[in-house]
Structure 1
Amino acid sequence: RFAAVIMRIREPRTTALIFSSGKMVCTGAKSEEQSRLAARKYARVVQKLGFPAKFLDFKIQNMVGSCDVKFPIRLEGLVLTHQQFSSYEPELFPGLIYRMIKPRIVLLIFVSGKVVLTG
């Protein structure tokens, strides 16, 4: 069993995980502003349910983006030229994992040209 309440709102379309510690994780927002607004709305809902919720210490922990470079990428060549930052094991995962240091971002790069960025 997952130890959090899962709550969703339609605008901005987000999902919150609310833990018994009082901490909350809000996912799905398309901007920092949307994320802050959603977190405030969730806190208000929790208050209306009779809990002494406060909106404190809001911070962005992680962001995710994706793109399509519109051409195929030779992952074998990329891992050879960027060995210190890359790991590619196609039998375990179809994408190359590229770990940038500054900024600290992880890219999942696929043969199709699709890229997912997290950090």
Structure 2
Amino acid sequence: MSTRQEGAGTVVEVAGDLDMSTTPRLRERLREVAEGGARVVVVDLSGVGFMDSSGLGALVVAYRDLQDRDGWLGLAGVRRSVRTVLSITSVDQVIGIFDTARDAEAAARVS
């Protein structure tokens, strides 16, 4: 997992599986980013091949946290297997999904 500034946003890049053993690190990183003042956050999931309900929960919590802070969260580079989880749970109807982090940041600017 890595974090970088891109334009006016913060990109959190995730690689590997998001499951019960790895999700706490993501949850903590997203909390740190939000508490650090980031208002536009993009989670780049291009390196994630599997995500279970704990990963899904971490994204929803981060989305709500940023919303409460007048912020924005988007997802980028979502692979088909992860997109299926987001679709089945209708999370893709709430959190925007974009091809790239740049596309997500551009969408955040217009929101």
What TM-score results when the alignment is normalised by the length of structure 1? 0.28
What TM-score results when the alignment is normalised by the length of structure 2? 0.30
Task: Tell which has more relative contact order, 1 or 2 (C-alpha 8 A, sep 6+).
Answer: 2
> Which of the two has greater strand per residue?
1
> Which of the two has greater helix per residue?
2
